[in-house]
Every structure is written in C-alpha cells, then in structure tokens.
Homo-oligomer: A and B are copies of this chain.
Amino acid sequence: NSTSHIILVARAKVLTIDTMNPTVKNAKYAVRGPIVARAAELERELNEGMKKPFDEVIKANIGDAHAMGQQPITFFRQALAICSYPELLNDSTFPEDAKSRAYRILQSCGGNSMGSYSASQGIDSVRQDVARYIERRDGGVPSDPDNIFLTTGACDGIMTMLKLLVCGEGPTRTGIMIPIPHYPMYSATLVELAAVQVNYYLNEEKCWSVDISELKRALDEARHYCNPRALCIVNPGNPTSQVETRQCIEDVIRFAAKERLFLMADEVYQDNVYGHGCRFHSFKTVLFEMGPEYSNTMELVSFHSTSKGYMGECGFRGGYMEVINMDDEVKAELTKLLSVRLCSPVPGQALVDLVFNPPQPGEPSYDNFIKERTAILSALEEKAKLTEQVLNTVPGISCNPVQGAMFCFPRITIPEKAMIEATEQGQQPDVFYCMKMLEEAGICVIPGSGFGQKEGTYHFRMTILPPIDKLQILLNKVKEFHQKFTQKYS
C-alpha cells in the first residue's frame, strides 16, 4: 500500500538527518531560530486574516536598520546606482562627488564593470581607501592596504580567521575564547569547525565589561582540555552593548600578549556609541600607544562592516578585516583560502569604499550627508536612552545602560510557576517567555539562552532600531506583557 511505499522511499534517501555532517547539525543559531520562524508564520496568518491579539508582528530580533524603516544614505545609493549603470555619469541630476567616487571605483574594476571578479583580497583602490580611513580614525597610526582584506560582511572574515586558527586533536585541539553572552555566529562556527569553545563571562554587574580575572580563570581551566590560541572581544558588545574603556583594552592586550593569544577584535559597532562618557577605542590604536614591545609583535585582526553604524546596509554584505603582525606565509594562505570563493561581492566592495571615503567638506553632497548621518546617530542615541529608561521602570526587568551597538539585553525575573510550565513543555524558561511574548504581544525577541548567560539568569535581546514612536509602543507592549506574564504565573 501507499504508506509502506512512502516509508520505503524515505528510507532510501542518501542524505538524512542521521547521515549528514554532525557538526552542522550540532550548530545553533538562535537569531534566526524557531522563534523567528514562528514570527514569520504569524505574519502569514495575519495576512490571511486570522485573528490575533495584535495587528502586526514587530521583528525586534535582528539589527536590520532598513527593515525597520531607516532610509539609506542618499550619497551611497547615488554612487552605487552610477556604478551599476555607468550611463548615469552623464546624468546632470547626480552630484559630482557621487560621480567621481563611482568613476574611481569603476576604473579599479576589470573592464570598468562591477560585473568582473575583483582580486581575491578585494579591489586595490578600495583597500587603499580603507587604510586611509583607519589612519584617520586612529590618529595617524599607519595602516597598510596589504593588510586589508575585503569580506562578505564581517561574519565572513570572522569565520575565515577562525578556520585558519583551528588545528590539533583531543587535548591539543584549538580553543577559542569568546564572551558569554555572545553573538551566536561565533559558537555556531566553532561547532562547525569542531574547535573548542572557551567561555569567559562578561560582568553584568559592571555593565557587561570584560574582566581580566575572569579571562584568566577561563583560560586556566581550558588549558586542561584544549589549546586556547585566540581571544575574541566584541566591542561595542553584541548583545550586551557595552563599550570597553581604554584601560580595559590595554589590560586585554597585556593579557593576550602574556598568554600568547591571537587577538580577534570584532569592532563592527564602532560608530554606534551612545553611553555617557563612552568613547570607542580601537584595539589597534591602544596597541600602538603601548609601544613597539606590543605593536611589533602582537597578532591582531580587527573586523568591520557596512551593515551597522549609521548606514545599516546589511543586504550588501560589505566588510573588511585588518590583520596586524600576521605571519607572511599565513597571510598568503589566507589569500589562497579567500581565492577559492573568487572574491567578495563587488557591489559590497563598492559600498565599503563609499562608507570609508565619504563626502568631504566642500563637496556637493557633504552637507546632506552630515545631516542624514547625524539624524540617524542622534535618533539611535535617543532610542538607547529611552529603552534603558522604560525597561527599568518594570519590576522584574533590569537593564544595563545601552552604551553602544543596537541592542538591549535586559535581565528578566521569571516566576517559579512559569519555570515549571516551561520544563513541562521541554523549553528553557527564557525561550518559553519569549515565545509567549511573541504569541501574545506579537513581539519577536531572542531569548538569552541563544547567546549564553550565567546559569540561573534569564535575558532577552531586543533591537533598539524601530523609529522612536514605534519603539515607544514596543517598549510599552513589552512592559505590559511582562506584567501580565508575572501576574499569570505568580
């Protein structure tokens, strides 16, 4: 009969969940996990006219600025349009600086077309512009275009570097130190690479800062079962939004140097700093200020992206990494590894160029560019403050200041009864909480367990990106939900 036939067919498959790559299966990535899938389902149901306790699903799960209504920076898009369709070089409605930037990019492309492959490391002139940007940012510390690698978003760079670092078996297997809580691309990649994840906990009591004694604890314990070789620092933090002090960065560098760790600095939120008295210090500047003892030897790679900051151009998948003091032979291997994928997308490379070589005073687009950028960054600052302030008015929610990046990561108290019901349903308490928030309030946030958190503590990550009026509504809904939830399970 047909049932047994179907079973037979299913059995015959070559590739099944039991015969697929186990490391892929074991990887977890909550930012696009079951809660997000359920959110998409709810959206479809709403569109089909089903009744829900809410009119729309607010997807606060991901740092996706344009999806939240943020408008692109005009200059970037004008220049990208010209790069796509160079006939626009003759269009008098386009400003001269957008034309000259686009022209320079096209001159650096094979056949003057974004449709040709670039060098594996990225277009030469783009890497030159990135290097000059870094020098300006770091007060003159030199940057060599040969140390710049253009990547497909920052995550491509991070994954590539992690891949280079992994070797050994058993107790000599490479260990990589990552913060907890952390952006789960790190843990997912480490599982895929069968590397050992070495957790160090950020200090929630001190605004999620990095603690050197905790680094030392984590490292010493890890040395019993693996070979820790690299330390990842995310500054400003994701999901924890802290901005590390200059002193902290110096201490981290000293620690990494002493313990012989390769430093990976994820600095994609460097333009997103809002906290009172906070300032972004690049690892590279601090390294060079510490003198040649450090700056001549310490291996450091810094990652940046066009997806965050004020531009929020996630879809273009632009990014770069700068490698400092990397062994020349390893650098050649890195280039080879990248070459198998041929090159990162050229429109993303073009965008990298524009972002790091924006309009200058006196150029026709300058005033409008500054106006647009300032408006976005001031609004983000306002949203960061509003978020912290509203959430801290809710009993059972406590939220560290949102010093930077694009997220809050409040701690939540989950009543005992809710914990029991969660366990009965086979869910972690914070997953249970976030699923309820989605079903009852239409708000999609990611449970803290997706990022890692101290045992017995619960959090969620929510983006602060919605327009301020919508964010206000969102925060009020969170507040209302939390109160109802607490009441129900008390």
Contacts and interface: CB of A to CB of B under 8 A. Distances in A.
A14 to B, nearest CB: 4
Contacts of A21: 163-167
A178 to B, nearest CB: 14
Interface stretch (A45-53, A215-223, A313-321): A313-321
Interface string A102-128: 000000011101111111100000000
Nearest to A317: B345
B85 A333 contact: no
B115 A313 contact: yes
Interface in A297-337: 297, 299, 311-317, 325-327, 329-330, 333, 336-337
A346 B15 contact: no
Contact of A115 (B25, B72, B91, B120): B72
B164 A64 contact: no
A7 interface: no
A260 interface: yes
B66 A115 contact: yes
A314 B116 contact: yes
Interface string A212-235: 000000000000000001100000
A156 interface: yes
B163 A15 contact: no
Nearest to A186: B340
Interface stretch (A76-84, A373-381, A424-432): A76-84
B340 A185 contact: yes
A208 interface: no
A240 interface: no
Contact of A16 (B67, B119, B327): B327
A295 to B, nearest CB: 11
Nearest to A32: B339
Contacts of A329: 16-17
A62 interface: yes
A139 interface: no
Nearest to A68: B111
Contact of A333 (B17, B31, B327): B17
Contact of A27 (B113, B118, B120, B337): B337
A29 interface: yes
Interface size class of A (residues with CB under 8 A): 35 or more
Given A16-B327, A348-B345, A115 B297 contact: no
A117 B315 contact: yes
Interface string A38-71: 0010000000000000000000001011111111
Given A66-B115, A312-B115, A346-B316, A333 B24 contact: yes
B13 A325 contact: yes
B29 A339 contact: yes
Contacts of A345: 152, 315-317, 345, 347-348
A282 interface: no
A119 B31 CA distance: 12
A316 B115 contact: yes
* Residue among A21, A115, A336 having the largest count of chain B Cβ atoms under 10 Å: A115
Contacts of A167: 19-22
A471 interface: no
B113 A20 contact: no
A341 B299 contact: no
Given A111-B67, A345-B345, A15 B315 contact: no
A183 to B, nearest CB: 10
A306 to B, nearest CB: 9
A448 interface: no
A85 B365 CA distance: 15
A66 B326 CA distance: 34
B325 A343 contact: no
